[in-house]
């Protein structure tokens, strides 16, 4: 049963009135920030309303209840993190080195993969069987996409799957340990990481575009 603050009092969930200050996107953005900073238990309608400087009742123009907001947070997580990895794994690549470099972009560009959000969802999953199931499915989808990359470049199914798991879960572990490695240090090691995950020495033609992109990200 929903908590008292979570029930919509029969209100319309369509367009908000002109005087409403917060949009649906504002509610989601505030909820995401709260989820990442303080955990799912702190994602409460009244708390978010206070942060946004609006009345609690305005929440119900956009969401039926708190559960619908939480569903929106999970959808955003999937659209950001799972979709980002899948898209990069499936991007056109002339070699396995280029393909793995495409996936590496996720570890640098938080628009493709937001590690803080991912770990907030992993923490949430410890409290919710439903979220745990979604997390496991997401991990499976991400690994399958990376395994597909290896298969396209000649690896047999089992080896492609194992390599994909090593690549993906190594990075998740890297975030879990919060190593805090600088971007400059990561750039120094890029060619070595690529060789570790592909078994091939990157050529200048494969490495230079990726390094140039990292430079653009650092400047941006």
Residues 37 and 77 in one domain: no
- Domain of 207, CATH number, reads 1.10.357
Query: What pTM was computed for the model?
Result: 0.87
Domain that holds residue 29: 11-64
In a domain, 6, yes or no: no
In a domain, 200, yes or no: yes
Residues 111 and 29 in one domain: no
What is the predicted pLDDT for the residue at 191? 96
Residues 134 and 213 in one domain: yes
Residues 129 and 158 in one domain: yes
In a domain, 3, yes or no: no
Q: What does the pLDDT look like over 15-74, one tens digit per residue?
A: 444 455 899 999 999 999 999 999 999 999 999 999 999 999 999 999 999 999 999 999
What is the predicted pLDDT for the residue at 186? 85
Query: For residue 153, which of 217, 220, 91, 82 has the smallest C-alpha distance?
Result: 91
CA angle 84/203/97 to nearest 5° reads: 30
**Token match 């070699």: residue?**
95
If one counts the domains in the chain, the total is 2
In a domain, 158, yes or no: yes
């Amino acid at each position: 049963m929903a908590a008292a603050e979570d029930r919509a009092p029969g209100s319309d969930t369509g367009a908000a009135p002109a005087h409403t200050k917060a949009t649906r996107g504002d509610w989601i953005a505030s909820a995401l920030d709260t989820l990442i900073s303080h955990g799912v238990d702190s994602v409460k309608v009244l708390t978010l309303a206070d942060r946004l400087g609006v009345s609690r009742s305005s929440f119900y123009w956009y969401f039926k209840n708190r559960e619908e907001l939480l569903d929106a947070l999970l959808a955003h997580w999937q659209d950001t993190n799972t979709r980002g990895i899948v898209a990069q794994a499936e991007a056109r690549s002339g070699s396995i080195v280029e393909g793995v470099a495409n996936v590496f972009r996720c570890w640098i560009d938080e628009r493709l993969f937001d590690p803080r959000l991912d770990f907030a969802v992993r923490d949430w999953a410890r409290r919710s069987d439903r979220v745990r199931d979604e997390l496991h499915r997401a991990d499976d989808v991400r690994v399958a996409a990376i395994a597909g990359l290896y298969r396209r470049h000649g690896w047999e199914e089992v080896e492609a799957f194992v390599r994909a798991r090593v690549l993906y879960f190594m990075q998740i572990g890297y975030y879990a340990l919060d190593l805090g490695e600088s971007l400059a240090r990561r750039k120094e090691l890029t060619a070595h990481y690529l060789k570790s995950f592909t078994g091939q020495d990157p050529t200048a033609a494969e490495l230079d575009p990726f390094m140039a992109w990292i430079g653009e990200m650092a400047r941006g």
